[in-house]
A = this chain, B = another copy of it.
C-alpha cells in the first residue's frame, strides 16, 4: 500500500493559483448579480460534507441559470486559466467542492427545471441542478419514479458526477446504469451532448459513462437524461434482528445468490441501532438489523418476502416486522434514515469520517467482520451502515476534528479496511468517489497503468487542468 499512515494524507495539497483581477472584472461584467464574491457565499461553496475544513474558499461564485451561463463562465476561466468547480447542493463526502487550487465555483442549483418527461419511454431530462426529491415530486402524477437514493437530497448533476447510488441500487443499479445521456460543457466551454434517449447504443465511445463519475474534472454536467421506473404495484418493507452482523450478512449473501430481486437491503450494527434508539426514541432491539424492501406485483412481493423471511429465520433472524402502507414503511425505515444524524449527535462536536469500500458479495462477511473487530479494538466510536446487497458498507468513525490522534486512528482503520477490500477483489469507493482523500487508494486499486490512462484522458480533454483540479489523481 502506498498510503502512509500519517495525517498528511488527510491534509489536502493546497496550491491556489492566481485569479487575475481582469478575470474577476470580466466575470462581474458578464454575470452581474449572478456573480458573488461575498465571503459568506464563497465559504458556503468552499466546503462540503467531508472532513476537510481548512481550504480557502473559491474566489467567486457564479450562479448559472442556463447552459449558456455555464459555457460563458467556463470560457472566461479558460481564457484566464482559472479553475472551475461545479457545485450542486454541497453534499459531497470527499472534498470534491474544495478549491484546493483556487478558482471559482459554478453553482448549478438555479438550473432546476425538469425539461422533459417521457413517461411512455420511462425517461426524463432534467437540468443538472434538479434534486432527486424534486424530480420525484414532479413526476409523481405519472406513476413513475427515479429510484437512486444516496441519502442526501443531492442534485442529479452531482449524483452523475460522483456515480452515486445508495439504498435502491441493489435492484435498480447506480447512476452508471441509469444515466442515458448528458449535456456537458467541456473545458473549452463548448456544449456537447453525449448519448441519446435510445435504451442502448453502440455508437462510438461511451462518453456518457466517461463523464458519469468524472467528478467535475472533465467538464461541467448541465443536463441529464435518466431512466425512470413504474412505481411498483406493491411495496413491502421489513425489519429483522440478528444475533450478530455475521448472521445478518449471511442472510443477505444467500438472498442475492438466490437471485431474489430485493429492492433494498440495509444493515445497521447493534451500536448504530442503539444510537438511533436514543436519537429517535424507537425502542428497537439493540442487535444487528436488516431493513428490507420488496417491489413488484402483489404475488411477486409476497413470494420474495417469504423466501427472505425463511432465509433470515434459518440464520437466527428474529423480531420480524412487516409493513405495506407508506406510513408504516416510513416508520420502519426511520432507523436507517436517522442513522447518520443519530451518530453525529451521539457525540456533540464530532465529525464522521466515512469509509466506502465495496466488495464481491462472497467476501462481504470477511471484509465487514474483520474490519468491525479492528475498529472495536481501536476504541474509536463508529456507526456502521451498509448497502449490503451490493457488498457496499460505510463505517462512520466519529472523531473530534481537533484531536489529531483520533484523526490518525480513523485514517489507519480506513487504510486497513481499503487494503482488505482490495485484497478481496473490491473497490475503495462504492459510491462516494475519489475526491481529495482516496487518490492513493485509487492507485493501489487500479494500478499505475490504469491511473495513467485516466491522466492521459484528463490531459487531453483539459490540457490546462482547469476542471476541478486536484481531484481523483495528481496532475
Contact = CB atoms under 8 A, between A and B. Distances in A.
A123 B360 contact: yes
B358 A207 contact: no
A469 interface: no
Interface stretch (A76-84, A281-289, A445-453): A445-453
Interface in A187-201: 190-194, 196-201
A86 interface: no
A205 B162 CA distance: 10
Instruction: Please state the number of chain copies in the assembly.
Output: 2
A70 to B, nearest CB: 15
Contacts of A427: 196, 198, 200-203
A390 B200 CA distance: 7
A430 B213 CA distance: 24
A210 interface: yes
Contacts of A120: 253, 257, 361-362
Given A120-B253, A453-B186, A358 B205 contact: no
A432 B438 CA distance: 38
A445 B196 CA distance: 8
A426 interface: yes
B201 A206 contact: no
Interface in A99-130: 118-123
A456 B449 contact: no
A189 to B, nearest CB: 11
A423 to B, nearest CB: 11
A2 to B, nearest CB: 15
A86 to B, nearest CB: 16
A121 B200 contact: no
A439 to B, nearest CB: 9
A392 interface: yes
A392 B200 contact: yes
A205 B210 contact: yes
Contact of A209 (B190, B206, B421, B449): B206
A192 B457 CA distance: 15
A287 B321 CA distance: 53
A234 to B, nearest CB: 12
A204 B451 contact: yes
B204 A472 contact: yes
Contacts of A212: 206
26 contacts: A118-B360, A118-B362, A119-B257, A120-B362, A121-B363, A173-B177, A186-B453, A192-B447, A193-B447, A199-B358, A200-B358, A201-B430, A202-B356, A202-B430, A203-B428, A203-B446, A204-B213, A204-B442, A204-B451, A204-B472, A205-B458, A207-B446, A207-B453, A207-B454, A210-B210, A299-B300
By Cβ-Cβ distance, the 9 closest A-B pairs, closest first, are A460-B460, A120-B362, A230-B259, A192-B449, A201-B427, A209-B209, A121-B360, A197-B425, A198-B358
